């Protein structure tokens, strides 16, 4: 056996740690799966009570969904919705995070922004949709704008909150060591910002997919919402339910494939701070071979 | 010889209440100056002004070296960064390239008796003493000409406190930095300082200063004890040191 050089060793170790972290965040999905099984059980009970026309069985729905997924056209429909939701969500993240950071550093701006946000959150998404349709006509732009407006407030508030509740002691420390305002933003502000931001992002992503489907359905813009509208017109309940399942499944995939690993990556130190933290026994030293 | 840190006529007020007035103080290169004064007289405020964290209302702060390090009463480590990254913060701020940082970090960590395996831990995984040593290592990291200490050891147990004091004395002697060491523990001041400066209890000016005999690090416990006892019993300089200013108890 050849000895691995220390640099390679360290690299392997870092890669191993990262993999185990991703693995752990995926493992967290099992608990969610148990919850899903519970929902399926209730669903089955409802099916048996109300009959197949009102509520098709979960298995049948799953079969329909799988059949739908077998056709490339469906994938195109899904991609359309996810791209719109994703674009609106990303726009909301860019706008919300930068505006939130600015507001977090300036309490006066935050005080000004709060009532505006209350108004924005108070207007139902459907009203934005109508306005967007009037402004932009049916199509990508309308869905995108509705998604953006729906996702923006929660992201903005979280970012502002993260900055506003930052540890001033750390700011003073960094200043004493000669940090400029930009350094402090980069080294301290953004890190504080991330703490409330991730839960908000999860919330906003869910909202983005939901609102995208709704906007598509109502504005006749294709995508999963459009497919839902078609199944409704054809009174095809299994297909409608299958599309709902597909929408939820793609949301869960996005959340667990993108957001959770990112969050796990930025919050390694929290694991260390937990009392049950990384409590693995030290590895025994490798036996030296003659 | 140009001073490492000069404060001239410093005055400050919080919400219209004057906390400091007319404080002038110089610290020479390589000199450890202890600043003593009763609780609440404005020592921390002065330290923050000296560090450039607070802009003084009146007066002038001159730091010819341009940069300084500081050790606060609490460690103030970044919770999301490992000990090594925390120690490297000043290096990062002054633009030292990443590959050069590690060796410097390891050198100062050795100086404060932190083990290499502790360097990859997060602050939450370190003991209180290790955290404070990490904070000291951070202050030493880029070899600043001046380091400010704001009662850094008050939360530590006596044995650890002594070790930390010796560490500061040794580091000051080897790295030749000037230090302003704030404390209200005269024993501590007498162990580590070349010169002890006492602030007025109301923060308006300095009462005076004295030099304990000998050099820091060479005074034995007996000498320190004798100095403190004499100072507290007979010197008017230290008469108000243990007064309870604002927290007047019944
Ligand atoms: N940010 C602030 N706003 C208003 N008043 C303040 C502020 N910081 C300090 N003070 C007041 O300034 C006075 C001096 O405070 P400072 O922290 O400088 O005292 P200190 O000498 O360091 O005391 P100690 O020895 O207890 O640490 C205190 O009366 C305190 O109430
Ligand atoms: Mg203080």
Residues of chain B with pLDDT under 70: 1, 242-250
Copy the structure tokens of residue B140. Answer: 């030493």
Q: What is the pLDDT at residue A54?
A: 84
Tell me the pLDDT band of A286, cut-offs 50, 70 and 90: low
- Give the 3-state secondary structure of residue B38: coil
In the block, residue with structure tokens 């329909």: A64
Tell me the pLDDT band of A268, cut-offs 50, 70 and 90: confident
Whether ipTM tops 0.85, in short, is yes
pLDDT at A190 over 70: yes
Distance of alpha carbon A173 from alpha carbon B137, whole angstroms: 14
Higher-confidence position of A286 and B169? B169
* DSSP codes of every residue in B55-76: --SEEEEE-TTS-EEEE-SS--
Q: What is the pLDDT at residue A3?
A: 53
Ligand nearest, relative to CA of residue B20? 1
Using a pLDDT cut of 90, give the percent of chain A over it: 49
Q: What is the pLDDT at residue B241?
A: 74
Check if B41 has its Cβ closer than 6 Å to any atom of ligand 1: yes
Check if B44 has its Cβ closer than 6 Å to any atom of ligand 1: yes
Min Cα separation A279/chain B (Å): 11
Q: What is the pLDDT at residue A184?
A: 92
Tell me the pLDDT band of A290, cut-offs 50, 70 and 90: very low
B76 to chain A: which residues are within 8 Å by CB?
169-170, 172-173
* DSSP codes of every residue in B75-98: ----TTS-HHHHHTHHHHHTT--H
* Residues with Cβ within 8 Å of residue B146, at least 6 apart in sequence: B4, B5, B27, B63, B65, B68, B69, B177, B178, B179, B180
Quick check: B124 and A272 CB within 8 A?
Answer: yes
Instruction: Characterize the bridge pairing of strands B32-36 and B178-182.
Output: parallel
Distance of alpha carbon A182 from alpha carbon A195, whole angstroms: 20
Q: What is the pLDDT at residue A288?
A: 53
- List the domain boundaries for chain B: 1-66+148-250, 76-144
Q: How distant, in Å, are the alpha carbons of A286, B111, B179 from that of A170? A: 41, 24, 21
Q: How many distinct helices (H) and strands (E) make up chain B?
A: 8, 9
Check if B184 has its Cβ closer than 6 Å to any atom of ligand 1: yes
Instruction: Characterize the bridge pairing of strands B58-62 and B32-36.
Output: unpaired
A179 to chain B: which residues are within 8 Å by CB?
93
Distance of alpha carbon A271 from alpha carbon A259, whole angstroms: 17
Over residues A222-234, the mean pLDDT reads 92
- List the domain boundaries for chain A: 78-164+192-263
Min Cα separation B67/chain A (Å): 7
Ligand 2 mean position, distance from CA A191 (Å): 28
Query: Residue A176: which of B68, B74, B121 has the nearest Cβ?
Result: B68
Q: What is the pLDDT at residue A271?
A: 74
pLDDT, one tens digit per residue, over A167-185 is: 999 999 999 999 999 999 9
Min Cα separation B145/chain A (Å): 12
Check if B52 has its Cβ closer than 6 Å to any atom of ligand 1: no
Quick check: A176 and B52 CB within 8 A?
Answer: yes
Copy the structure tokens of residue A15. Answer: 């890669």
A192 to chain B: which residues are within 8 Å by CB?
none
Distance of alpha carbon B243 from alpha carbon B38, whole angstroms: 6
Distance of alpha carbon B47 from alpha carbon A152, whole angstroms: 42
Among candidate residues A195, A97, A77, the one with its CA nearest the CA of residue A153: A97
Which residues of B lie closer than 8 Å to A, measured between beta carbons? 48, 51-53, 67-70, 72, 74, 76, 78-81, 89-90, 92-94, 121-122, 124-125, 138, 148
CB A158 within 8 A of CB A104: no
Q: What is the pLDDT at residue A279?
A: 47
pLDDT, one tens digit per residue, over B103-120 is: 999 999 998 889 998 999
Over residues A30-52, the mean pLDDT reads 88
Quick check: B90 and A188 CB within 8 A?
Answer: no
Distance of alpha carbon B144 from alpha carbon B108, whole angstroms: 13
Fold exhibited by the domain A78-164+192-263 = MetI-like fold (1.10.3720)
B1-66+148-250 domain in CATH 3.50.50.60? no
Quick check: B122 and A187 CB within 8 A?
Answer: no
pLDDT, one tens digit per residue, over A240-249 is: 999 999 999 9
Q: Chain A to chain B, count of Cβ pairs less than 8 Å apart? A: 65
Quick check: A273 and B70 CB within 8 A?
Answer: no
Tell me the pLDDT band of A226, cut-offs 50, 70 and 90: very high
Question: Atom 30 (ligand 1): residue with closest C-alpha?
Answer: B40
Distance of alpha carbon B107 from alpha carbon B78, whole angstroms: 20
């Amino acid at each position: 056996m050849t000895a691995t050089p220390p640099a390679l060793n360290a690299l392997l170790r870092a890669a191993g740690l990262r993999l185990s972290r991703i693995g752990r965040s995926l493992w967290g999905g099992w608990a969610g799966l148990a919850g899903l099984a519970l929902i399926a059980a209730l669903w089955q009970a409802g099916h048996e009570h109300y009959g197949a026309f009102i509520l098709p069985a979960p298995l049948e729905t799953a079969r329909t969904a799988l059949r739908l997924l077998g056709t490339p056209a469906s994938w195109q429909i899904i991609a359309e919705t996810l791209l719109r939701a994703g674009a609106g969500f990303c726009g909301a993240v860019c706008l919300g995070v930068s505006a939130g950071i600015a507001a977090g550093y300036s309490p006066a701006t935050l005080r000004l922004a709060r009532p505006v946000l209350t108004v924005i959150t108070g207007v139902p998404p459907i009203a934005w949709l109508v306005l967007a349709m009037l402004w932009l006509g049916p199509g990508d732009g309308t869905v995108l704008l509705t998604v953006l407006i729906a996702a923006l407030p929660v992201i903005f508030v979280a970012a502002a909150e993260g900055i506003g509740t930052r540890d001033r002691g750390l700011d003073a420390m960094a200043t004493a060591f000669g940090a400029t305002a930009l350094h402090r933003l980069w080294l301290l502000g953004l890190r504080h910002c991330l703490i409330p931001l991730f839960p908000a992002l999860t919330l906003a992503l869910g909202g983005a997919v939901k609102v995208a489907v709704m906007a598509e359905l109502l504005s006749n813009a294709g995508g999963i919402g459009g497919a839902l509208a078609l199944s409704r017109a054809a009174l095809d309940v299994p297909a409608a339910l299958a599309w709902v399942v597909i929408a939820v499944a793609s949301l869960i995939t996005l959340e667990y494939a993108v957001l959770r690993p990112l969050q796990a990556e930025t919050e390694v130190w929290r694991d260390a701070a937990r009392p049950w933290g990384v409590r693995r026994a030290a590895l025994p030293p490798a036996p030296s071979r003659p | 010889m140009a001073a490492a840190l000069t404060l001239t006529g410093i005055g400050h007020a919080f919400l219209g209440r004057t906390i400091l007035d007319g404080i002038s103080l110089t610290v020479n290169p390589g000199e450890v100056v202890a600043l003593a004064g009763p609780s609440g007289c404005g020592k921390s405020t002065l330290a923050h002004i000296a560090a450039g964290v607070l802009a003084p209302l009146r007066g002038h702060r001159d730091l010819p070296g341009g940069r300084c390090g500081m050790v606060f009463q609490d460690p103030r480590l970044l919770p999301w960064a490992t000990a090594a990254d925390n120690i490297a913060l000043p290096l990062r701020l002054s633009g030292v390239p990443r590959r050069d940082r590690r060796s410097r970090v390891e050198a100062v960590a050795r100086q404060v008796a932190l083990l290499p395996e502790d360097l990859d831990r997060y602050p939450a995984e370190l003991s209180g003493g290790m955290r404070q040593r990490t904070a000291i290592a951070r202050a030493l990291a880029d070899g600043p000409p001046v380091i400010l200490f704001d009662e850094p050891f008050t939360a530590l147990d006596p044995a650890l406190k002594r070790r930390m004091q010796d560490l500061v004395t040794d580091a000051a002697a080897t790295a030749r930095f000037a230090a302003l060491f704030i404390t209200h523990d005269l024993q501590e001041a007498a162990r580590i300082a070349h010169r002890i400066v006492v602030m007025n209890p109301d923060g308006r000016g300095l009462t005076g200063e004295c030099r304990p005999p000998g050099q820091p690090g060479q005074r034995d416990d007996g000498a320190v004890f004798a100095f403190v006892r004499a100072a507290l019993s007979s010197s008017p300089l230290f008469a108000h040191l243990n007064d309870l200013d604002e927290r007047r108890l019944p």
